[in-house]
Chains A and B, each alone.
Chain A
Amino acid sequence: MFNKKGQEEFLSVWWFLIITIIGVFISIGVIIFYSSAIDVKGIEAHILATKTADCFVQNGYLTFNLNSIDKSLIFEKCNLNKEILDSKEYYLGISFYGYESNQKLREPVQIGNPTFQTFCELEGKNYPTCVTKNIYTLNEENQNFKKLKIEISAGSNNLGG
């Protein structure tokens, strides 16, 4: 048996209040979800690091002379756009280490926004996303082959708009 008073309460102001609150929260959730940017910064950083690695190493050998590597050579040979990469949205850092000694063989090459090195460690949608790749390669110097490690750090904070 139904209690008539109880039945009436179903359609009371409280019921409408509850259903309105639920509706408002669902609407807010949907609006936030669909208006937020699709985050592809990590994918971009990964592509940039992979592209640089492919450019630097071919068949296991370093493509360039270790001491002649600089920004202009990278832009020229790796099909990377200078204006875009030199903007604040990207970072590319390349360091060279001895395979066994793990000591720096030369000064690293840095392109783009160097503050990413710090900001990449922070979490949040406004901070850049970075990827680090280590690749091992052979470098020919006066017909001597030396193993070396190349550390490629790539970061992106490209939000689009």
Chain B
Amino acid sequence: MIKRRWNKKGVDVIMSNIIFILLNLIFFAAMFYFVSRASSGDSFYEQKYAKKIALMIDEAKPNTHIELDISKLMEKADKNNYKNDIVTIENNKVIVRLRQGKGYNFIYFSDVKISKLENRETKKLILDIKENV
């Protein structure tokens, strides 16, 4: 019978290398997870869409019809189990909420009348901008 003898030094080298590689992998996986979590944060999306919508309103002329894809916002609101309106427009402010709380608000300076509809099926925000008479 042939007995296989392990070289203790060799085993040590392999083990320490494996541990080293594993620790590196754990570190990079943790960093990747942290960065991806931070970049997809709710507050970042609330701010981004509040500003986007307010700027669209400011730039639009009266009698403009806007359809904006808000599927990403709806996805996040669903994850947070938030069933109320995601986008609220009142007192010249656009407020975006992805969970219960004050959300993020941004002022627009145009004096216009806005009718808003959030279509849950098409995942679109529909804005009709009319002259304020």
Contacts and interface: CB of A to CB of B under 8 A. Distances in A.
A79 interface: yes
Contacts of B112: 79
A84 B27 contact: no
Interface residues of B, number: 38
Interface in B95-133: 104-112, 131-132
Interface in B15-55: 16-17, 19-20, 23, 27, 30-31, 34-35, 38-39, 41, 43-44, 47-48, 50-51, 55
A32 to B, nearest CB: 10
Interface stretch (A4-12, A97-105, A121-129, A135-143): A4-12
Contact of A160 (B12, B38, B104): B104
Contacts of B27: 19, 23
21 contacts: A10-B20, A11-B16, A11-B19, A23-B31, A30-B35, A38-B48, A43-B55, A48-B58, A75-B111, A79-B62, A79-B111, A79-B131, A79-B132, A81-B92, A81-B109, A81-B110, A82-B111, A84-B109, A85-B109, A89-B107, A160-B107
